[in-house]
Amino acid sequence: MTTPIIPVMEQLEDIVYSRPAALAECSTHYCPGCTHGVAHRLVAEVIDELGIAERTIGVAPVGCAVFAYNYFKVDFAEAAHGRAPAMATGIKRVHPDNVVFTYQGDGDLASIGMAEITHTAARGENITVIFINNAIYGMTGGQMAPTTLPGQRTSSSPLGRDVEVMGMPLKMAEMLAGLPGAAYVARRSLHSAKEINRAKKAIRTAFEAQLAGMGFSMVELLSSCPTNWGLSAFDSLKWIEEHMIPYYPLGDYKVAEGIEALSKN
Amino acid sequence: MQSEIIVSGFGGQGALFAGQLLAYAGMDAGYHVTWIPSYGPEMRGGTAHCTTIISDDEIGSPLVRHPSAAIVMNAPSLDKYEPLIAPGGVLVVNTSLTARKPTRADITIVEVPANAIAEELGSAKLANMVLVGALLAAANFLSVEALEAALEAHLPPRHRKLIEANRQALRRGASIAATVRQRGVETLVMT
Amino acid sequence: MTKELLKGNEAIAEAAVRAGVEAYFGYPITPQTELLEYMARRMPELKRAFLQAESEVAAINMVYGAAAAGARVMTSSSSPGVSLMMEGISYIVASEVPCVLVDVMRGGPGLGNIAPSQADYFQIVKGGGHGDYRLIVLAPATVQEAIDLTYQSFDIAERYRTMVVILADGNIGQMMEPAELPPMHAANGGHNGQRASWALTGAKGRPHNVITSIYLVPEVEEQFNQKLQAKFRKIAENEIRYAEYATEDAEWLVVGFGTSGRVAQTAVKQARAKGIKAGLLRPISLWPYPEKRLAELANNVRGILVVEMNAGQMLEDVRLAVSGRAPVKFYGRMGGTVPLPDEVLDEIIRLTKESNS
């Protein structure tokens, strides 16, 4: 079992670790040190806390999280590569009272699925997107992603990403925040306990925005890929902090009116 | 019995509506009918044409090579359809917008200055109905009354105020063509 | 119910509405756009879902989502747009969710033109998407048949949990003919008003449902394929449809579907008037193909003429079914042109002469 234990800051002596009810009792296929497990747990905790497991429908991507549906005890669909926001749109339009979220990686969302994510946000589709940005294609074995950093070596940019040839990496949170349909867009990181806590709050806000019918919400999560980065789990977390955050600043990029009131509840 | 009518003109002249009205009238009279338009970019400013078939038997092909009648509302339509009309068929020409004379000797030709008559009746947009009236008088496969009834029955509510003007145009066209019923070389030229 | 003069595209849309379609997702493309436009007015009027997608790629995946959610759902497009949907179509069949696609075919390949064509036969009937899958393909020849097939298509799709395609062409879409519309069904999600047990509706009081098409272990994927193939065999037993005209004593058989079929019927009549004993087989289900009936007919005729608005696509299925029982000739028009009865009649006459000589 690779789901990490997350230390909580206060009342350490009272902590009892338990699995969120929305998370299935099984081992994941994720590599040791990968933060997908953390992201899954945060989403599951939010689903539990909001009491929405019985009406939540998830849409899994093509990429490492393709089997996400095995790990959540909520209804789930497995979309074609990049099409999760379109599939989620179809689901949400016929079941507007259900809570619908997609869980997508950077190749899925920012490369092949750019049209779908952009138009879904533009329509203000009332769904939540969990966007895992680890600056690389994980499932296919470490190729360059649209979010690969300048100079970053991958199996398809062996000399490092040449921005003269490939352009600069895409900042999805900033891009989508510019669309009127977006209600809540934030970027968080999973590299430290403190940031994980902040990430969870953002995920909760994103789901709350949907429950309030406010429109499109997305949380971009800077995540690690020790296997394809060629780093240890620990060094991967440091790499997020030292290399990714400077290019992908954390913060809230779109907070529509009324969102802040939501998270105070 | 099967009548195949092509109505052709510039986009906006009402060629497609004229064909549809014939189809409605045919349907109401209990015939099998098909109506098929040209469609696409050519509809905007170019030529628009449609084929209406009215038959007492099931209609196979909705398109024909040699129609039994054609209404040509402009010069390009005259050039295109005059050669195609089946021998013994009827050609109704809008002389307001055609320069040359039709040349076929084996069909009935009805020449009508439809725009001029329509304007006389109050609107150039009635030219299509003048020409349909002329066709009915010359070809005799449906009555003018059947067309009037079709107008009454199928014109959408927002256009109902136009029924009377359209009816007048139909009758005027029919009266013009009433003397050219027999097929042959006879040509009626309205001055 | 009295007959109304209805345009094919709009008639198909209204038939789907009356069949209880709950959601429509589409993208404009000529010559099917009236279908989308009709739905844009009609669906909101009935408080049902309509959405103009950003592309055909998105549209088919919205259909996939709504179908996975257990809704009666459809899309429509024309040839190049349908090419874009192929990925989603493969996923939908593999995920075993029911839905309906209307393809109003136009001239191709490439951007081609907007004129009527039947050149999507390979793409729709033989595949086009990846993997071993079949679509139930129904090809109407009249506006009335387009209505009837569309109306039935949702039940068929739900019966087998798969996709049904209404394969029409620009002629069928644009033509007006008198036709009668069926009675209105409520949009109740099909399945007799109950959401299907497999549908994604939220895991309330039941284990969570999953709609997926991935089976990483080859043996498991093979097992799944065997299950699909068994379903396709069942469909092939139950869903064959065709029409015949003057085949009882026919010596010469013409085979054509959709618009080609009705054009050929006129030519067959004209041939009969000339004393040629011609007959017509018009396949309505293109998959499953009426191969048995065609083989029976082939035993009793001296020659077969296949007429299509393409370079000879269904021709391959005719040859497979006929399997040498009779000579098979082909007459096709391409690029958006439509064969006229006199051309087909000439070909029938040529067939009789060639076979007599």
Q: For C82-128, write each residue's pLDDT tens digit.
A: 999 999 999 999 999 999 999 999 999 999 999 999 999 999 999 99
Residues across chain C: 357
Look at C54 and A115 and tell me if their CB atoms are within 8 Å.
Answer: yes
Q: Work out the minimum CA distance from A189 to partner chain C, whole angstroms.
A: 29
3-class secondary structure, B90: strand
Pick from B2, B34, B53, B151 the residue to mutate for testing the C interface (most C CBs within 10 Å): B34
Helices assigned H by DSSP within chain C: 8-18, 33-45, 56-68, 79-84, 86-95, 121, 143-160, 170-174, 218-238, 258-273, 291-300, 314-322, 341-356
Cβ pair A138, A35 in contact under 8 A: no
Residue to test with chain A: of C212, C213, C224, most A Cβ within 10 A: C212
CB contact under 8 A, C51 and A93: yes
Write down the pTM of the prediction: 0.93
* Ordered DSSP codes for A174-221: HHHHTSTTEEEEEEEE-SSHHHHHHHHHHHHHHHHHHHTT--EEEEEE
| Total CB pairs under 8 A between chain A and C | 134
Q: How many helices (H) and strands (E) are present in chain B, helices listed first? A: 6, 7
Q: For residue B45, is pLDDT > 60?
A: no
Please give the Cα distance from A78 to B37 (Å, whole number): 44
Out of C22, C59, C68, name the one closest to residue A91 (CB): C68
Residue A1 has pLDDT above 50, yes or no: no
Domains of chain B: 2-189 (3.40.920.10)
| CB contact (8 A) between residue B33 and residue C177 | yes
Of A53, A47, A83, whose CA–CA distance to A66 is shortest?
A: A83
Q: Radius of gyration over alpha carbons of chain A, in Å?
A: 17
**CB B39 to CB C170 under 8 A?**
yes
Helices (H) and strands (E) in chain A, counts: 12, 7
Quote the minimal CA–CA distance from C114 to chain B in Å.
7
Per-residue pLDDT, B1: 87
Domain region containing A87: 18-264
pLDDT band at B190 (very low <50, low <70, confident <90, very high): very low
Report how far residue B43's alpha carbon sits from residue B32's, in angstroms, rounded to the nearest whole number: 27
**pLDDT reported for residue C192:** 58
More confidently predicted of A5 and A140: A140
In a domain? residue A239 = yes
- The pLDDT value recorded for residue B159 is 87
Segment C337-354 shows an average pLDDT of: 95
* Chain A residues near residue C205 by CB distance under 8 angstroms: 54
pLDDT (tens digit per residue) in A82-108? 999 999 999 999 999 999 999 999 999
pLDDT for the residue B47: 78
| Residue whose pair of structure tokens reads 């849409």 in the numeric block | A59
Q: Which residue, C272, C273, C274, C254, is CA-closest to C263?
A: C254
Identify from C262, C266, C344 which residue to disrupt to test chain B contact, counting B C-beta atoms within 10 A and taking the largest count.
C266
Please tell me the predicted confidence (pLDDT) of residue C357.
58
Burial (Cβ within 10 Å: 0-12, 13-18, ≥19) of residue C315: buried
**Contact of B20 with B129, CB cutoff 8 Å:** no
Q: What is the pLDDT of residues C162-215, one digit of tens each?
A: 999 999 999 999 999 999 999 998 776 655 567 899 999 999 999 999 999 999
B107: which residues sit within 8 A by CB, 6+ positions away? B85, B86, B87, B88, B89, B90, B91, B183
- Among A187, A105, A87, which Cα is nearest to A145's? A105
Q: How far apart are CA B40 and CA B51, in angstroms?
A: 15
A contacts of C200 (beta carbons < 8 Å): 57, 75-77, 91, 95
Would you list the DSSP string of A46-87? HHHHHT-GGGEEEEE-SSGGGGHHHHBSSEEEEPPTT-HHHH
Is pLDDT above 90 for A15?
no
A125 and C CB contact within 8 Å: no
- For residue B62, pLDDT over 70 is answered with yes
CA-wise closest residue to C108 among C78, C139, C85, C137: C78
Report yes or no on A13 lying in a domain.
no
From the CB coordinates, do chains C and A have 3 or more pairs under 8 Å? yes
Tell whether omega for the bond before B37 is within 30 degrees of 0, i.e. cis: no
What's the token pair of residue C208?
């969570």
Whose tokens are 């394809």? That residue is A228
Residue B178 burial (CB count, 10 A) = 14
pLDDT of residue A17: 79
DSSP A147: T
Distance of CA C31 to the CA centre of its chain: 16
pLDDT band of B33, cuts 50, 70, 90: very high
Amino acid C355: pLDDT: 75
Q: Which of C221, C192, C195 is nearest to C209 (CA)?
A: C195
C30:B39 CB<8 A:
yes
User: Which domains are delineated in chain C?
Assistant: 4-238 (3.40.50.970), 242-356 (3.40.50.920)
Residue A138 lies in a domain: yes
Q: Do the chains A and B touch each other, judged by at least 3 C-beta pairs below 8 angstroms? A: no
Q: What would the pLDDT profile of C236-289 be if each residue is shown by its tens digit?
A: 999 999 999 999 999 999 999 999 999 999 999 999 999 999 999 999 999 999
Does pLDDT of B12 surpass 90? no
Distance, in Å, from the CA atom of C357 to the CA atom of C349, rounded to the nearest integer, reads 12
Alpha-carbon distance of C294 to C301, in angstroms, equals 11
Sign for the pseudo-dihedral over CA of A233, A238, A241, A246: negative
CA atoms within 13 A on the CB side of C295: 8
Q: Do A90 and C68 touch (CB under 8 A)?
A: yes
Flag the least confident range among A140-149, B177-186, C328-337. B177-186
How is C301-319 classified by DSSP, letter by letter? -SEEEEEESSSSSHHHHHH
Give the confidence band of B184 by pLDDT, cuts at 50, 70, 90: very low
Q: Which amino acid is present at A31?
A: C
What DSSP letter does each residue of B22-86 carry, written as one string? Answer: HHHHHHHTT-EEEEEE--SGGGTTSEEEEEEEEESS----S--SS-SEEEE-SHHHHHHHGGGSP
- Work out the average pLDDT over B5-11: 94
Q: What is the signed CA dihedral for C71, C72, C78, C80, rounded to 10 degrees?
A: 30
Flag whether A244 is in a domain. Answer: yes
- Tens of pLDDT, residue by residue over A36-85, are 999 999 999 999 999 999 999 999 999 999 999 999 999 999 999 999 99
pLDDT digits (tens, 9 = 90+) for C11-48: 999 999 999 999 999 999 999 999 999 999 999 999 99
- Residue A221 placed within a domain: yes
With bands split at pLDDT 50, 70 and 90, how would you rate the model's confidence at B182?
very low
Q: Output the CA torsion sign for C28, C34, C36, C41.
A: positive
Residue A203 lies in a domain: yes
Residue A8 placed within a domain: no
pLDDT at position A4 over 70: no
In chain A, the number of structural domains is: 1
Rounded mean pLDDT, B95-103: 95
| CA dist B186 → B98, B170, B177, C262 (Å) | 19, 22, 12, 37
The answer to whether B93 touches B72, Cβ cutoff 8 Å, is yes
Q: For position A160, what pLDDT does the model report?
A: 96
CATH number for A216: 3.40.50.970
